[in-house]
Amino acid sequence: MATTTVIDNELVEASKIAARRESELTVREAVSKHKSAIFWASFFCLPNIIIGYDPTIVGTLVGIPQFRKDFGYEYPAGSGSYVLPASWTSAFTYAPVIGFMVSALWGGWCVDRYGPRKTLLGATVLSLFTLLMEVLGESAPVIFAGDLLTGLLTGSFPVLGPAYISEILPVCLRGIGLSCNNLAQVLGSLIGIAILRGTEARTDRWAYKVPFITEYAFPLIFIVGSFLAPETPWFLVKKGKYEDAEKSLRRTGYGDDLNTTLAHMKETLLLEAKTKDNATYLDCFRGTNLRRTVICAMAYSGQFLCGINLASGYCTYFFELAGLSTDQAFDMSCGLFALGVVGNLLSWPLMTIWGRRAGYIWTCSFTSVLMFIIGFVDLAPSSNTGAMYAKSTMLLLFNFVYNVGLGPIVYVLIAEIPNTKIRGKTLGVACFTPHIFSISITAGLPYAMSTTEANWGGKTGFLFAGLGLITVLWAILYLPETKGRTFEELDILFDKKIPAGKFASTDLHDFDRAEVIDGVTIQKLDKEDVEGVYAVK
């Protein structure tokens, strides 16, 4: 038998009012009215600082002379120079990546079950203990294990941050708010590189211990904030906690529009009735959710396929291979991440003009061209000083372009596209999948770049240029435009199987729910049934 979702007519009318208000709300009006929502959305961006900070610290350890001396070997013999075995160079870099990959799945489950706020609190408290292994570790295996366990906890941050922000901000601020997750990551990398720049010249173990110790400042901030933050109203409505949802809406600036906003949330979730309340990860691959999950996973994978691992995780090492001194390499890395911050700030107005789809395609195309240039320039003799600086400049430009579009846009897409009922789980899959690529790339890059192994150097740019072009082709064919759409409108576009290229042009204003959604009946219900009734035909 087919199940028909019965929705109260008054609920529909109230939802229409809320949807119309959301579409007409300007950025200026939203900033004035929803200051509290903006504040808490900004707070939930902060955990992503760790996602930039920790891999940068661990990945850049190989560029610290004292670290190479303590855990590496002298090469060439008698030269006084030390190198780290390629196996450990890879291990230290992909330790947090493995953690991030696994924690994305449990993080997505926790976000749907317990909400972003409680997930942040639990993960942060536990990370206080795993950080001790990094601080107190006196051997490479212990430091590796500490960073792996920390990654298993903090890797949930890219899931819970977008989930929280997408559900607490109005539509016109959602893109800017979600893009700040990438800004936080870049800031984390910049902070990490700046700290390493200040300690790398030390000739004792504090050259690499101080960066681990400073990481303790972040969990303390997150614990206090997670106690004070409101839970997202969408999560509370999903759990049937309507009174708590009303309190959350009042705290985030929806006091004047409380009833209609709550009605819109209820109606959107009723239209998603095909997804069970006790959904599992398998529901991410059923029906139209499969298309959503694949888009999220592939869009996120584009970050790694275009070459961001080379630009961020190995930037200092790359600059040293290009011929710069250790001090110059660290200075260039600081400049690289600072440009990333500027690029993220520029992405806010540009995202409003471009939208998600065009911004993703154009910036991914540009980064692919830059990778080709890096590869070709590396064909010049190593004695060519101009080529050395050209490769470094192209890497700086790459990071800037990446953070203007591709980097921040990914976080917008993976939060806007999922079905509301399984947003956390879809985010979990979206964050898990690209880390498979990331681990492969992270493991292979040291061997490809090392002067004692494959010795590709800048020629690795050819690899990422090719992968980037494949990503561009995919985006042209399958990436939809989500700018300005409510979650309800996105549900309808996916349910009606609208092609990706027509998402932006399809008009859904004042649509008839019964016409555009199969299995929906709208009728007048008794007051006690308005919360949602499922009739069976």
| Cβ neighbours around 520 below 10 Å, total | 18
pLDDT at 426: 92
What does the pLDDT profile of the chain (537 residues) look like in tens digits? 445 555 567 777 777 788 788 888 888 888 888 899 999 999 999 999 988 888 777 766 766 777 777 777 777 777 777 777 767 776 777 777 788 888 888 989 999 889 999 999 999 999 888 888 888 877 778 888 888 888 888 888 988 889 999 889 988 888 888 988 888 988 888 888 788 777 767 777 787 788 888 888 888 899 999 999 999 998 998 888 989 989 999 998 887 778 888 888 888 887 766 656 667 889 889 888 999 999 999 999 998 888 887 766 556 666 666 566 667 777 777 777 788 888 888 888 888 888 899 999 999 999 999 989 888 887 776 666 677 777 777 878 888 899 898 889 999 999 999 988 889 999 999 988 888 887 777 667 666 666 556 666 667 888 889 999 999 999 999 999 998 888 888 888 898 889 999 998 887 765 555 555 555 555 555 544 444 433 322
pLDDT at 339: 82
pLDDT at 24: 83
> Under a CB-based contact definition with an 8 Å cutoff, are residues 188 and 52 in contact?
yes
State both tokens at 70. Answer: 């303590």
Which residue's structure tokens are 């690209």? 434
SS3 4: strand
pLDDT at 261: 86
| Of the candidates 91, 128, 348, 287, the residue with the CA atom closest to the CA atom of residue 221 | 128
128 phi and psi, to 5 degrees?
A: -60, -35
The set of residues, in sequence order, having a beta carbon less than 8 Å from that of 537 and lying 6+ positions away, is 1, 2, 3, 4
CA-to-CA dists, residue 204 to 55, 64, 70, 109, 147, angstroms: 22, 11, 9, 43, 21
Half-sphere exposure of 158 (CA within 13 A, CB side): 35
State both tokens at 117. Answer: 């706020």
Please name every residue paired with 327 in a beta bridge, in sequence order, or none if there are none: none
Euclidean distance between CA atoms 389 and 176, whole angstroms = 34
Per-residue DSSP letter, 313: I
Per-residue DSSP letter, 417: S
Which residue's structure tokens are 């670290």? 67
Domains of the chain: 3-22+30-536 (1.20.1250.20)
Write out the H or E segment, with its range, that includes residue 520.
strand 520-523
CA-to-CA dists, residue 191 to 122, 138, 353, 427, angstroms: 25, 24, 30, 26
pLDDT at 509: 67
- Give the global pTM: 0.82
